[in-house]
């Protein structure tokens, strides 16, 4: 990864199938919730990807939840590319996008809170996220006991 040219950009339709495969692999290891192809196509504009000359190496989405809250979701990095800072760089891209959208709080629901804590996210009660919980979480087959930890980063 060191000498390889990595490109960070917004996702396009050609990225959806590799992103789906990466997310499915992570979901199979209980690292995140799965996403259907249909859901990925519908939310394509939320996604950033990291690519090299041959493949998509990582993905991350920024989804607007409410007036001034966005959620980072579906962060995944190919196993051979992990440890190279790709996940952090994708999160930084999403956070930078928040300024353009006038969003001042970013949330994440994660099974790996220590990873996000290193970037300044702090654990919060899920009850502080009513729009997220009642608009999307209630549709999840793991609701209400998914085990994900709610975290937030205030950007003000």
pLDDT band at residue 127 using 50, 70 and 90 as cut-offs: confident
Which domains does the chain possess? Answer: 7-154 (3.40.630.30)
Q: Measured between alpha carbons, how far is 81 from 62 in angstroms, rounded to an integer? A: 21
Looking at every residue in the chain, the average pLDDT score rounds to 88
The reported pLDDT for the residue numbered 120 is 96
Location of structure tokens 């729009």 = 131
CA distance 65 to 12: 22
Q: Which two tokens stand for residue 64?
A: 């607007």
Q: Look at residue 105 and give its three-state secondary structure.
A: strand
Asked whether the predicted pLDDT for residue 78 surpasses 80, the reply is yes
């Amino acid at each position: 990864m060191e000498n390889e040219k990595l490109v960070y950009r917004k996702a396009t339709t050609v990225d959806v199938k590799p992103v789906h495969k990466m997310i499915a692999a992570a979901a199979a290891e209980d690292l995140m919730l799965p996403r259907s192809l249909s859901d990925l196509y519908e939310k394509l504009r939320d996604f950033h990807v990291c690519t090299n000359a041959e493949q998509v190496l990582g993905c991350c989405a920024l989804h607007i939840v409410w007036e001034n809250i966005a959620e980072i979701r579906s962060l995944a990095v190919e196993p051979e590319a992990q440890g190279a800072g790709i996940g952090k760089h994708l999160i930084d891209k999403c956070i930078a996008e928040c300024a353009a959208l006038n969003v001042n709080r970013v949330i994440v629901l994660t099974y790996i809170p220590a990873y996000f804590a290193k970037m300044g996210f702090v654990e919060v009660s899920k009850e502080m996220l009513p729009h997220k919980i009642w608009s999307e979480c209630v549709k999840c087959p793991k609701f209400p006991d998914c085990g994900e930890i709610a975290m937030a980063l205030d950007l003000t």
